């Protein structure tokens, strides 16, 4: 479990063993059962979350009660309501578990301490959020300019094997289509 997060970090920065050990002491393991809630809209997001097993979703529910999924976070992914976390204001998004999920979390206070003690983590989290911003820009462009079939193909590339693990209605929500239309796309694409 700890190796997964250390491997994630090693993609962008190299840690000395004592730095890695220190970082791990700042993390709290959290387990969330399937359909369990990690963050409710309106609550302040107090942690950055790294998924070690299972899958989370970041979503917003509209006035009609329809969920709009912004992100899936299977193992090896980070998930948070960034605006709420950094501004300490009520969350606009919710985070819940689509499977039994185990996560490692760090609070804003401990993150600030980490930046002081191991400054190279500022680089890591800058790269993490930079890549996340690029991903969101591409997703917005795809949602406004690509067909549902092409969005579905991108989903499969972004989240390999996730399709077999989560409900079709969740994937349809992420793609902005109905589950019935997704079923047709799946049949068409074999």
Does residue 47 lie in a domain region?
yes
pLDDT in tens, 67-108: 999 999 999 999 999 999 999 999 999 999 999 999 999 999
Whichever domain contains 111, its CATH number is 2.60.120.10
Does residue 137 lie in a domain region?
no
CA 131, chain centre distance (Å): 12
Does residue 158 lie in a domain region?
no
Does residue 151 lie in a domain region?
no
Distances (CA, A) of 105 to 30, 66, 160, 177, 181: 7, 28, 24, 32, 37
Total of domains in the chain:
1
Which of 21-25, 78-82, 137-141 shows the lowest per-residue confidence on average (mean pLDDT)?
137-141
pLDDT in tens, 49-77: 999 999 999 999 999 999 999 999 999 99
CA 95, chain centre distance (Å): 9
Q: What's the pLDDT at 18?
A: 97
């Amino acid at each position: 479990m700890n190796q997964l997060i250390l491997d994630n970090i090693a993609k962008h920065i190299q840690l000395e063993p004592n730095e890695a050990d220190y970082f791990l002491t700042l993390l709290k393991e959290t387990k969330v059962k399937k359909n369990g809630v990690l963050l409710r809209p309106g609550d302040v997001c107090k942690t950055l979350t790294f998924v070690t097993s299972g899958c989370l979703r970041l979503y917003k529910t509209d006035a009609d009660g329809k969920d709009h999924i912004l992100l899936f976070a299977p193992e090896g992914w980070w998930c948070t309501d960034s605006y709420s976390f950094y501004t300490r204001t009520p969350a606009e998004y919710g985070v819940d578990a689509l499977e039994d999920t185990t996560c490692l979390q760090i609070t804003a206070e401990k993150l600030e301490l980490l930046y002081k003690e191991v400054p190279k983590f500022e680089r890591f989290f800058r790269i993490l959020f930079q890549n996340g911003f690029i991903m969101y820009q591409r997703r917005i462009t795809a949602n406004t300019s690509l067909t549902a079939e092409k969005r579905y193909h991108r989903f499969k590339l972004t989240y390999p094997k996730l399709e077999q693990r989560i409900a079709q209605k969740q994937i349809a929500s992420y793609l902005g289509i109905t589950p019935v239309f997704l079923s047709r796309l799946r049949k068409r694409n074999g």
